[in-house]
Amino acid sequence: MLLHLSTWPEIEAWLAHSKTVVIPIGSNEQHGPTGLLGTDWLCPEIIAHEAHRQAPGDILIGPTFNVGMAQHHLDFPGTIALRPSTFMLAIGDWARSLAHHGFEKLFFLNGHGGNVSTIDAAFSELYAEASYASRQRGFACKQRNWWDLAGVSKLAYQQFPAGHGSHATPSEIAVTQWGYPDSIKSANYAPQIAPSGPIREAKDFRARFADGRMGSDPGLATPEKGGELVKLAVQGLLAEVKAFSAETPASAAQAADGAVYPSPAVG
Amino acid sequence: MLLHLSTWPEIEAWLAHSKTVVIPIGSNEQHGPTGLLGTDWLCPEIIAHEAHRQAPGDILIGPTFNVGMAQHHLDFPGTIALRPSTFMLAIGDWARSLAHHGFEKLFFLNGHGGNVSTIDAAFSELYAEASYASRQRGFACKQRNWWDLAGVSKLAYQQFPAGHGSHATPSEIAVTQWGYPDSIKSANYAPQIAPSGPIREAKDFRARFADGRMGSDPGLATPEKGGELVKLAVQGLLAEVKAFSAETPASAAQAADGAVYPSPAVG
Amino acid sequence: MLLHLSTWPEIEAWLAHSKTVVIPIGSNEQHGPTGLLGTDWLCPEIIAHEAHRQAPGDILIGPTFNVGMAQHHLDFPGTIALRPSTFMLAIGDWARSLAHHGFEKLFFLNGHGGNVSTIDAAFSELYAEASYASRQRGFACKQRNWWDLAGVSKLAYQQFPAGHGSHATPSEIAVTQWGYPDSIKSANYAPQIAPSGPIREAKDFRARFADGRMGSDPGLATPEKGGELVKLAVQGLLAEVKAFSAETPASAAQAADGAVYPSPAVG
Amino acid sequence: MLLHLSTWPEIEAWLAHSKTVVIPIGSNEQHGPTGLLGTDWLCPEIIAHEAHRQAPGDILIGPTFNVGMAQHHLDFPGTIALRPSTFMLAIGDWARSLAHHGFEKLFFLNGHGGNVSTIDAAFSELYAEASYASRQRGFACKQRNWWDLAGVSKLAYQQFPAGHGSHATPSEIAVTQWGYPDSIKSANYAPQIAPSGPIREAKDFRARFADGRMGSDPGLATPEKGGELVKLAVQGLLAEVKAFSAETPASAAQAADGAVYPSPAVG
Amino acid sequence: MLLHLSTWPEIEAWLAHSKTVVIPIGSNEQHGPTGLLGTDWLCPEIIAHEAHRQAPGDILIGPTFNVGMAQHHLDFPGTIALRPSTFMLAIGDWARSLAHHGFEKLFFLNGHGGNVSTIDAAFSELYAEASYASRQRGFACKQRNWWDLAGVSKLAYQQFPAGHGSHATPSEIAVTQWGYPDSIKSANYAPQIAPSGPIREAKDFRARFADGRMGSDPGLATPEKGGELVKLAVQGLLAEVKAFSAETPASAAQAADGAVYPSPAVG
Amino acid sequence: MLLHLSTWPEIEAWLAHSKTVVIPIGSNEQHGPTGLLGTDWLCPEIIAHEAHRQAPGDILIGPTFNVGMAQHHLDFPGTIALRPSTFMLAIGDWARSLAHHGFEKLFFLNGHGGNVSTIDAAFSELYAEASYASRQRGFACKQRNWWDLAGVSKLAYQQFPAGHGSHATPSEIAVTQWGYPDSIKSANYAPQIAPSGPIREAKDFRARFADGRMGSDPGLATPEKGGELVKLAVQGLLAEVKAFSAETPASAAQAADGAVYPSPAVG
């Protein structure tokens, strides 16, 4: 079910049997010489909408949160960025709105590595609101990068054993090629595999990564490979949403989701 | 040109000949028993994308800002709202990002009456930043409701002489029916024409407007009427964007856009 | 009754029979070569205090909120401006304070067109607080420009058929001349009728409107015409306050105040 | 000169010979059974305007900042309070606006003890803006309670050797009686001298101070005593404004104003 | 008891018999040519920890809040400053956290004069939260400068009859010499007694106070004098904490703490 | 060199040869039945101060940032938490202060897994400030968990092959036992190895983790094992600080620090 193509009575009916909603979330930012500016929000949207097409009764997809934490890309035209503080406030308002209707499981399918920390901080801000007030939050938040869905990253590295990199990767570009076959771009670029390095402010970023790529060779992408990735991601998404929906609050039983802290974390 | 389906070098090339970008902006909120939750962001997106299809070289469309000032609709499931303060911060970050690339004319095509004041306040916040700092802002912001484009409102009242109302109107629903013919909904509702009244907090709103409509009979909508509205709106949009692009900064000549203050304003 | 010249037990007594308070609100900003910097807060204060003198038992007037959204006037000496975000927080604190005492109807008599959007956004922020918390707000906010009171704008255009304009208008200057006859100023200015145009940042504004006027010929003002305007405005104010006070919350009956959305609004 | 009864060219002319402006600042809050709700902003306004009447060419008075830090009085009807954080933002915007025009000495004549810390914190916030940016602020801020002007407090204790107290004091009430002789109130209250104690939240405050007075017997006030206090305060104000205006920035010579830190401060 | 060297069950046990916690709070800022950058947070920490050593069962000391309002010192290397607005938010979160556990008396032992106003404003912000919500705050906040503890300031002026000054004072330096005998520094400086003056932005401060001292001759400090000061301060602290703990909420009896308003305050 | 035990001229001298400063950062929060509330800020402080003792001329240690993102622990007495938004503002002010003096490399040695995302978001907020302003930031930020220093985590798992867990771990407790041998606590607890699960609001956390431990058996800790960990961590810290100091800004050469995005990140 797509929330934005539904009426409010349809959502009311949905809530009678499920308390879970999936929000595709990403960023609108440069993706190298050939990648679409929308890549990072298009990928989770493509995957989520494909999951909806395959199993419309099993999943509710909200509108796509299409602008995120992309300050480092601002020296490349077309990038639109929210400051982390703005991003957190906006995620908070989305979450509070959805929880207001009775949603108890908010699943953010993320398409941008640069969003991860800020989304996590936004969740903590939401939880803190309840913690200071000595009350239960009433809903749980979860984010999952689409490439961290079961098997996806492994497949990406099989498809692209060299030149995958970490930004403007052939895997994400392949997914958009599959989703938007009329918008496949090509360009000459060099070196074939882009450099790597730390991520700081926009000027530093542009100095390090002249055409916007990080460690990647996006020309390896094909729509077919994108389709394979989408197929696997859809399976993973449906499974994770099902498991998240089934999770009961604060039971004695151990929950499966320990993802807030990357292991091995101490402290 | 669609920004999110373009690469950054393509936007760089666009900026060589135009400094204008159009952002469809709306709200994700209940639209009565038959209206889609996405109506208010789908309408400007439909119109803007249709303008792009007709004249791809004349207009650049950014990603859709799909959640806005909808606090009053929160007691209807599926509504997602930003607090005005959050909305202003997010509009500010979008605008600063676009201006960073050299865009000098930011045209927001709006689909939600409830957004108007907050968008206007957000523009003032952006201008104020420059005013306090004794510098030029470097860009101009403009918002236009799609129904205020030349001739559109007049046509809507011709199409729907009774029961147009002000929320979940047959005209906006018709536009989405034209844009999403597979998502046309029907429902029984009464009274045929919904009540009118002031807009306050969500509980008050729901008490006044039991099914979410305000003064409207959305059942009058047809995809054909929607198509007529879109056709006229596209003409108006292209004309306004052209005029806005042609406007020169702070010249002695009077500018055409006096829209920030509704006339007759004194003070 | 004037709140600031009353004691707290007097306000407690007032609340036993009325839940309405009127706040004159305006701006301290340049008003052309002859207009007082206080014009926009003096006008609503003059009208409200005159209403008090005529009907002291029918109306309670709070202190004047004398600085507002005037960033565009900052390049003219004497202007004091709040950023929209600050203005919203301050209006919020005033409203929460008054509601804390039991006031249920907060009527802001506005004297500055540039305030309208931000005041409206501030009201929405206040309502949103209740909407997210799933509770009733407990009070209603209303703003009315003094020139929008019944008959006032019509009279102004009869008095000044040419050269009324939209800033430093002869009507607002006439009101201050009536209220402060010892502070009537004169000056040579040209052209006789000032230019019109959009409102943006302060530098742009000063470039467009060299002496601060917008479309107006303030020399047409006389204290007598000001007195006529005040007389009519007082009648309108007392009538609107009475009607607002009589309004019952969220009844099935349609309320008279649909002013948040300028008609014809769709969306 | 009164800023709000002047035109912008008049302020421009003022700035040619003086860079100092005086802002009366206070609070709108309960003042016991007989004190006016406006007492704390009326007192500095009365004194400042009287100074203007005596020496119009020597002093420029801005509009009165009439609502301040009064959260502890909120359980008494008529009190209007800003949160400290809002108050600081608003003071900041006033100061930045005035400095924008070239004012270099911002003198706040304060009428409310509860404002002192927040005004001081607001000044520090303004200075910090420049400090982090490694630049000069360009203006200096100073606050002075009217009762701390030369000789005033001493006179007050001579006039009221017992029952002066610290809130709803006979001295401040006497000043308003002198300024507003038509608004002198009387009431029975007991005990004759109110209790003293700490200031915390509104509920605690009302429990400690049943009628709003703190340590005072306001019935001792007379308009004549108020006139004596105003006379002395006007002298002190004109002298302090003159000295503050004459102060040169950061000279090697020691400046006279060490008032930010009450002595004997270590640390 | 030192909170940070305790376990949560130990704090739970503490709360069974006492609701008071002491937070040493200061600033990390330049202290002239010989003073430690940590002086202002080390002093209250030294005194509080010494009180703990003498009477571990009578006092609970929290972690030290070691960075405060020091914007004026930013042009001296090593200074770390919070903007007042940030400082207030952080104090608020500390206080809400401690109150969450049941602490009802939050005693901040302050080591920096520049903190006083902002800490006071932070307390008001916390109280305001309860006041607007018409509820009791549930806890009381108190700040005390260590030099204002009974007898301390008097002793300091006896020890240093000339050259005490107000920043980088021999008394505070003596306390750190007693606490950190391995970190006693010496330097040549001139003049022997530093100048005095107002405190504004960092550039102004550095221009007035070339080596960072204000009115002081820190070379007079000795560890022995520091020990005498600590001894007296510990007595004062234990006594004040005992009295504050014994204070009952909002009783009719007058409370001993009237320190929020420096006397003689009117208004 | 310890910044807080130095004078400002000593820091000025340091800056002549190094632009790097290390800030121990952690959290003050419950650590199970035997762990100290200060564990997470004591561990990085112990390690950093030990590095200073071993190589005082090679490393400059600032004051410890001792309260962080610990909202989930608030239902255990003694925890003090900053909301993520507050934490970000405070980190921002620390960083801006240090950069103001010329520090170009800000190294945060972190002791709390729950801090990681918010610290990262705070860095992005700082970078964004420069990115929107089209300027270079002038400094680089880096965070490193002490257990992620070379070899430390591996040693911890060798020392504690079972029951290491992720909160109140035997490794962090061992470090504090080594640093504070007089504060070693013991307690009976069950089960021997605590449960695991997701981290949400405080009430949920306490329901899942009854005594505060997560997956750990802290009784395995010994001061000796703590000493081994500290020894390795000190080596790692000195090496990382050296490498970070040597890093040149935005060179064509690939930088070594790709740690902001955990690999394999796409998007």
Query: Rounded to a whole number, what is the distance in Å from the CA of F240 to chain E's nearest CA?
Result: 22
Neighbouring chains of D at 3+ CB pairs within 8 Å?
B, C, E, F
Interface test with C, best of A96, A103, A137 (most C CBs within 10 A): A96
The residue type of E60 is L
> Nearest CA to CA, how far is E200 from chain C (Å)?
23
> Do B and A touch (≥3 CB pairs < 8 Å)?
yes
Q: What is the pLDDT of residue B262?
A: 34
Instruction: Using only the alpha carbons of chain B, give its radius of gyration.
Output: 19
Size of interface A-C (CB pairs under 8 A): 4
> For residue C19, which amino acid is it?
K
The C-alpha of B130 sits at a distance from chain D's nearest C-alpha, in angstroms, of: 12
pLDDT in tens, E210-250: 999 999 999 999 999 999 999 999 999 999 999 999 998 77
Owner of token pair 């006896």: E158
Q: Which of D74, D208, D262 sits opposite E262 (nearest CB)?
A: D262
Please list the pLDDT of chain D residue by residue as tens digits (267 residues).
999 999 999 999 999 999 999 999 999 999 999 999 999 999 999 999 999 999 999 999 999 999 999 999 999 999 999 999 999 999 999 999 999 999 999 999 999 999 999 999 999 999 999 999 999 999 999 999 999 999 999 999 999 999 999 999 999 999 999 999 999 999 999 999 999 999 999 999 999 999 999 999 999 999 999 999 999 999 999 999 999 999 987 743 334 333 333 333 455
Could you tell me if F208 lies within 8 Å of chain A, comparing CB atoms?
yes
> Chains that contact B by 3+ CB pairs under 8 Å?
A, C, D, F
**Cβ–Cβ gap D264/E153 under 8 Å:** yes
Q: Measure C122 CA to nearest chain D CA, in Å.
A: 14
E91-115: per-residue pLDDT in tens? 999 999 999 999 999 999 999 999 9
Does residue E8 sit at the C interface (CB-CB below 8 Å)? no
> In chain C, positions 93-112, which contact chain E (CB-CB < 8 Å)?
96-97, 100
DSSP per-residue codes, D206-249: HHH-TTS-BS--GGG--HHHHHHHHHHHHHHHHHHHHHHHHPPT
Residue A4 to residue B66, Cβ atoms within 8 A:
yes
Asked if pLDDT for residue A264 goes beyond 90, the answer is no
Q: For a pLDDT cut of 90, what percent of chain E falls above it?
A: 93
Yes or no, beta carbons of C66 and D67 under 8 Å apart: no
Nearest to A74 among B86, B92, B100 (CB): B100
Q: Looking at residue F9, what is its pLDDT?
A: 98
CA distances from D44 to D37, D41, D108, D167 (A): 14, 6, 9, 16
Amino acid at F190: A
DSSP class per residue in C206-248: HHH-TTS-BS--GGG--HHHHHHHHHHHHHHHHHHHHHHHHPP
Q: Do chains C and D touch (3 or more CB pairs under 8 A)?
A: yes
How many other C-beta atoms lie within 10 A of the C-beta of residue E58? 15
A135, A208, A250 member nearest F208 (Cβ): A250
- Give the F window 63-82 contacts with A, CB below 8 Å: 69, 71-72, 74-75, 81
Give the model confidence (pLDDT) of B34-71 as tens digits. 999 999 999 999 999 999 999 999 999 999 999 999 99
Pairing mode, strands F105-110 and F20-25 = parallel
Name the closest residue on chain E to residue F90, using Cα atoms: E86
| Contact at CB, C97 and E134, closer than 8 angstroms | no
pLDDT tens track for B197-235? 999 999 999 999 999 999 999 999 999 999 999 999 999
Q: Give the pLDDT score at C110.
A: 98
Chains in touch with C (3+ beta-carbon pairs under 8 Å) read: A, B, D, E
In chain B, the percentage of residues whose pLDDT exceeds 70 is: 94
Mutate: best of B89, B96, B98, partner F, most F CBs <10 A: B96
Nearest Cα of chain C lies from the Cα of E132 at a distance, in angstroms, of 7
Tell me which chain D residues have a C-beta less than 8 angstroms from the C-beta of F97.
132
- Which residue from E45, E43, E247, E233 is spatially nearest to E149, judged by alpha carbons? E233
ipTM confidence = 0.94
The per-residue pLDDT for A118 is: 98
Q: How confident is the model at residue C258 (pLDDT cuts 50, 70, 90)?
A: very low
Distance CA D81, CA D202 (A): 11
Chain D closest CA to F155's CA: distance in Å?
43
CA C157 remoteness from chain centre: 19
Instruction: Give yes or no for residue F265 having a pLDDT over 60.
Output: no
CA distance D140 to chain B (A): 17
Instruction: Give which of B137, B143, B148, B135 is closest to B106, Cα–Cα.
Output: B143
Q: Classify A212 as helix, strand or coil.
A: coil
What pLDDT does D249 receive? 74
pLDDT at E254 (0 to 100): 38
Among chain A residues, CA nearest to B39: A4
Condensed to tens digits (0 to 9), the pLDDT of residues B5-27 reads 999 999 999 999 999 999 999 99
Q: Does C26 touch chain B (CB under 8 A)?
A: yes
pLDDT digits (tens, 9 = 90+) for A110-164: 999 999 999 999 999 999 999 999 999 999 999 999 999 999 999 999 999 999 9
Please report residues of E whose CB lies closer than 8 A to that of C130.
none
Which residues of chain F neighbour B97 with C-beta distances below 8 Å?
A: 132
Chain E residue numbers touching C100 (CB-CB < 8 A): 132, 134
D265/E148 Cα distance (integer angstroms): 9
Tokens at residue A193, please? 């595999």
The token pair that represents F238 in the structure block: 């000195």
A33 contacts B7? CB cut-off 8 A: yes
Interface of E with C in 110-139 (CB under 8 A): 132, 134
Tokens of C41: 């807060």
Are the beta carbons of C22 and C146 closer than 8 angstroms? Answer: no
Nearest CA in chain B to D98: B132
Interface size A-E, in CB pairs within 8 Å, comes to 4
State which residue of chain C sits closest to E130, comparing Cα positions: C100
Q: What is the mean pLDDT of residues A236-260?
A: 71
Q: With DSSP H G I counted as helix, E B as strand and the rest as coil, what are the percentages for chain F, rounded to 5?
A: 45, 10, 40
Strand pairing category for B105-110 and B140-145: parallel
Residue B105's DSSP bridge partners are B20, B140
State percent of chain C over pLDDT 90: 93
CB D82 within 8 A of CB D90: yes
C248 contact A CB<8A: no
**Which positions ≥6 away from A154 have C-beta within 8 Å?**
none
Distance CA C190, CA C178 (A): 25
How confident is residue A222, by pLDDT bands cut at 50, 70 and 90?
very high
Query: CA-nearest residue of chain B to D102?
Result: B134
pLDDT of the residue at B249: 73
What 3-state DSSP class applies to F260? coil
CB pairs under 8 A between B and D: 4
* Segment A61-120, tens digit of pLDDT: 999 999 999 999 999 999 999 999 999 999 999 999 999 999 999 999 999 999 999 999
> For A171-219, what is each residue's pLDDT tens digit?
999 999 999 999 999 999 999 999 999 999 999 999 999 999 999 999 9
How much is the pLDDT for C254? 38
Measure the CA–CA gap between D113 and D108, rounded to whole angstroms.
13
Task: Dump pLDDT digits (tens) for B85-115.
Answer: 999 999 999 999 999 999 999 999 999 999 9
What the block records as the tokens of A185 is: 């771009």
Residue showing tokens 């105003």? D230
Chains E, D in contact, 3 or more Cβ pairs below 8 Å? yes
F191 min Cα distance to partner chain E (Å): 17
Least confident of B22-26, C90-94, F229-233, F253-257: F253-257
What tokens does F157 get? Answer: 């798992």
Q: Which residues of B are less than 8 Å from F132 in CB distance?
A: 96-97, 100
Q: How far is E108 from chain F (nearest CA, A)?
A: 15
CA distance D93 to chain B (A): 9
